[in-house]
Amino acid sequence: MAEGGRLQGRVAVVTGAAQGIGLGIATRLAEEGAIVVLADIADSKAQAAAADLARRGLSATAARVDIANDASVQMLARKVEADHGKCEILVNNAAVGADTHIETMSMEAYQRVIGINQDGAIRMSVAFVPLIKKAGPGRRILNVVSILGLRGWPNQIAYATAKGAIVNFTRALACDLAPHDIMVNAIAPGFVDTPMSLRRDGKHEYDADWFRDIYVKYGRIPMRRYGKPIDMAGPAYFLCSDDAQYVTGQILSVDGGASATF
């Protein structure tokens, strides 16, 4: 465990933590002294990531979870309670990407995305709120949404709908849990270099000519670059820290300024 961190001894569960944004957030929380559970359906990747953090002297373990499955989520909650007896921080990050156009998508494809990206975050919150209520100071729920949950985008019916739902779920949950001094917020990433940004041809979306022209050359992303998981980790840490003790029900865009130019 990192000594002297501002999250010293707090238990944090991060879904989708085997890679990408989830791993970036989990790493930062561990660096601040949290006891982090890397929860992911990709168990072997999560185990490897936790082992890497442990080799650095950080407190991290891995646990398999399928957030689309009630029994799997309940099993994770029971494991965290058995191992730690509490949970101060829940980060709902796990998600899947999918191109869905209203004229070509099947309801099966739509429901798969909704079941993970929307229902998964709600399912995790339902399972963990009782455990979070048992914890001490610094209780936080952080949802990872997307600027596509705040704006429209072509071929993203299912993804944008799910993320938009979690935007308002964040606000509603914050109202429910404020009397218990549990803060609920969300970060909304823009374009970020993660495995989800890989296109079907194996190239990242930010390597496409259209992306470089619109978002870099002509400044639709004022920072003129795509984001990295580490760029998400700092804002996530802030919202999970004691510095955010009077911040709840908020959606923080972390997108290099992209949403300012929409």
| Catalytically active residues, by annotation | 159
Residue 39 backbone dihedrals phi, psi, to 5 degrees: -105, 125
Contacts of 168 (CB under 8 A, 6+ apart): none
- Mention every residue, 6+ apart, whose C-beta is less than 8 A from residue 204: 193, 197, 198
Distances (CA, A) of 199 to 24, 97, 196, 204: 22, 10, 8, 6
In the block, tokens 């270099």 appear at: 193
For residues 25 and 238, what is the distance between their CA atoms, to the nearest angstrom? 11
Phi, psi (5° rounding) for residue 223?
A: -75, -15
Distance CA 50, CA 159 (A): 28
